[in-house]
Amino acid sequence: MHQLTLAEIARGLADKKFSSEELTKVLLARIAQLDPQLNSFISLTEDLALSQAKAADVRRANGESGALLGAPIAHKDLFCTQGIRTSCGSKMLDNFKAPYDATVVAKLAAAGAVTLGKTNMDEFAMGSANESSYYGAVKNPWNLEHVPGGSSGGSAAAVAARLLPAATATDTGGSIRQPAAFTNLTGLKPTYGRVSRWGMIAYASSLDQGGPLARTAEDCAILLQGMAGFDPKDSTSIDEPVPDYSAGLNGSLQGLRIGLPKEYFGAGLDPRIAELVHNSVKELEKLGAVVKGISLPNMQHAIPAYYVIAPAEASSNLSRFDGVRFGYRCENPKDLTDLYKRSRGEGFGPEVQRRIMVGAYALSAGYYDAYYLKAQKIRRLVKNDFMAAFNEVDIILGPTTPNPAWKLGAKNNDPVAEYLEDVYTITANLAGLPGLSMPAGFVDGLPVGVQLLAPYFQEGRLLNVAHQYQLNTDWHTRTPTGF
Ligand code: GLN
């Protein structure tokens, strides 16, 4: 039963082949048995899951239907869940029980989704390897010596290992797409403003966006449907109608114009990944797509700009964790300054402290123009590049990551080396565009992802292209050995 996708689960529940309660028990047992190898969960919510499953079964018995009614999922542990620990992967929030549900959590619960638990993540979503979590590193089910990607590594590892069919995640610079690529999943970062950020603990507010991680585009469509929509509680939420994503999956790709940016295939890209990306292009051409070379000339400036803007916003967002109002507080503070200093020094891990320092520096008088303002100008240039490209093509295609998942610990002493791995994903966040990563093959037994980018609010186009690709390829169906 654990092999079923969300779409298959919805059919099985509708056909009364099994109940949500039965399925939930099977998956909870599987998590108890297998997750010790992966460390993909920070908290399990067995009691909540069983009561939600029973309630969903009653709703179905009363004639209700819906693709998420009775579907088991988990939430990345930065979505606030009322009365349940919401740690953000940090010692700072180890004791924090959220007083309310995030909009995403509330919407999915209302649609009848069953919450199995909260998944592991890089501390405050800062990282690309899921090694900065206070709760320990997450392992990649494809090779337990390798990282699963980050920051949504727990959601990715759990779904890839078939502990559950799908999970929520967030993407500030690639944290949905990159772990999807590293674990053979499909992951979608929606347009900025498509999914409410209310109750999502902020890392870099102008870049953060929640989205689905699942095995197939079809399942991402189902989960995104439950997450997306205008939310008056989030001032950056956009009041734009939400299309029926599942209904949009069967569009023809005849004449679809795919742009291949020449900057995506230069130095730094593993040539074996380049080959798999080109194979995926050939598949899409067979389905009627036409390929065009394009250029995104400012891409080379995106990493330095992102690693100024994201830490700047983080340094501001994380100032609320002061040891006074909630979260970790140091023992026996001498005075208020000591309370602030030690609570933050003891509560935040090294990567979070590094980002706060970088961000505070970039924002300080005398440096603001040179770093923060400059980075914002680059951000606009990156966006302009995309706008020009989308005058010529319908989607942009390239690798999700320059390399496959690296070994645990391999980049621990070199944060910049880890930052550079985000080269293909961060531009979509800087521009606010939607992006999807889909499985496209393997290198040394490790999964490789292809990234698709589309114009604003064209999540449906991305899902349609990925679904058509998945109807004609079987990479996404491969299961890691031992799971
Ligand atoms: N790796 C990037 C960072 O550390 C992106 C993380 C994310 O998307 N949350 O900032």
pLDDT digits (tens, 9 = 90+) for 399-428: 999 999 999 999 999 999 999 999 999 999
Q: Is residue 307 part of a domain?
A: no
Q: Which atom of ligand 1 is nearest to the CA of 126?
A: 4
319 is catalytic: no
**Residue 386 confidence (pLDDT):** 98
Number of separate domains in the chain:
1
DSSP 143: B
Q: Taking residues 153-181, what's their average pLDDT?
A: 98
Cβ-proximal residues to 308 (8 Å cutoff; 6+ apart), any chain: 358, 362, 371, 372, 374, 375
Look at residue 394 and tell me whether its pLDDT is greater than 90: yes
Using left for φ > 0, alpha for ψ between -120 and 50, and beta otherwise, residue 162 falls in left
Of the residues 19, 132, 175, 196, only one is catalytic, namely 175
343 is catalytic: no
* CA 312/CA 362 separation, integer angstroms: 7
Pair 352, 123: CB distance under 8 Å: yes
What is the span of the domain harbouring residue 154? 6-255+432-477
**Residue 365 confidence (pLDDT):** 87
From edge to edge, which strands make up the β-sheet containing 257-261? 41-44, 114-119, 72-76, 166-170, 210-214, 186-189, 435-443, 446-453, 395-399, 257-261, 290-294
Q: Is residue 161 part of a domain?
A: yes
Whether the CB of 422 sits within 6 Å of ligand 1: yes
What spacing in Å lies between the alpha carbon of 342 and ligand 1's midpoint? 26
pLDDT digit string (tens) for 44-79?
999 999 999 999 999 999 999 999 999 999 999 999
Nearest to 61 by CA among 24, 23, 28, 20: 20
What spacing in Å lies between the alpha carbon of 366 and ligand 1's midpoint? 27
- Reduced DSSP (H G I as helix, E B as strand, rest coil) percent helix, strand, coil of the chain, to 5: 45, 15, 40
**Residue 396 confidence (pLDDT):** 98
User: What b/e sequence results for 209-218 when a residue is b if at least 16 CB atoms lie within 10 Å of its CB, and e otherwise?
Assistant: bbbbbbbbbb
DSSP 69: T
* CA 476/CA 389 separation, integer angstroms: 29
Task: Work out the widest C-alpha separation in the chain, in whole angstroms.
Answer: 70
Whether the CB of 115 sits within 6 Å of ligand 1: no
pLDDT digit string (tens) for 27-50?
999 999 999 999 999 999 999 999
What spacing in Å lies between the alpha carbon of 171 and ligand 1's midpoint? 7
> Which domain CATH number covers 158?
3.90.1300.10
Of the residues 40, 151, 246, 315, only one is catalytic, namely 151
Q: Is residue 369 part of a domain?
A: no
Q: Which amino acid is at 18?
A: F
- Positive or negative torsion for Cα 80, 86, 91, 95: positive
Nearest to 36 by CA among 187, 130, 109, 139: 139
**Residue 228 confidence (pLDDT):** 98
**Residue 46 confidence (pLDDT):** 98
pLDDT digit string (tens) for 190-213?
999 999 999 999 999 999 999 999
pLDDT digit string (tens) for 433-481?
999 999 999 999 999 999 999 999 999 999 999 999 999 999 999 999 9
Q: Is residue 354 part of a domain?
A: no
What spacing in Å lies between the alpha carbon of 174 and ligand 1's midpoint? 6
Look at residue 361 and tell me whether its pLDDT is greater than 90: yes
Q: Taking residues 302-315, what's their average pLDDT?
A: 97
175 is catalytic: yes
* CA 378/CA 442 separation, integer angstroms: 34
SS3 212: strand
User: What b/e sequence results for 110-148 when a residue is b if at least 16 CB atoms lie within 10 Å of its CB, and e otherwise?
Assistant: ebbbbbbbbbbbbbbbbbbbbbbbbbebbbbbbbeebbb
Confidence of residue 290 (pLDDT cuts 50, 70, 90): very high
Q: Is residue 412 part of a domain?
A: no
Whether the CB of 351 sits within 6 Å of ligand 1: no
Q: Is residue 114 part of a domain?
A: yes
What is the rounded average pLDDT for all residues in the chain? 97
pTM of the model: 0.98
Q: Is residue 264 part of a domain?
A: no
Tell me which of 122, 172, 207 to substitute to probe ligand 1's pocket, judged by most ligand atoms within 8 Å of the beta carbon.
Answer: 172
What spacing in Å lies between the alpha carbon of 79 and ligand 1's midpoint? 16
Nearest to 134 by CA among 327, 332, 418, 331: 327
Structure tokens belonging to residue 296: 């995104």
ω before 151 within 30° of 0 (cis)? yes
Q: Is residue 269 part of a domain?
A: no
Look at residue 173 and tell me whether its pLDDT is greater than 90: yes
First to last CA, the chain: 13
Pair 245, 219: CB distance under 8 Å: no
Cα distances (angstroms) measured from residue 376 to each of 359, 362, 372, 387: 14, 12, 6, 17
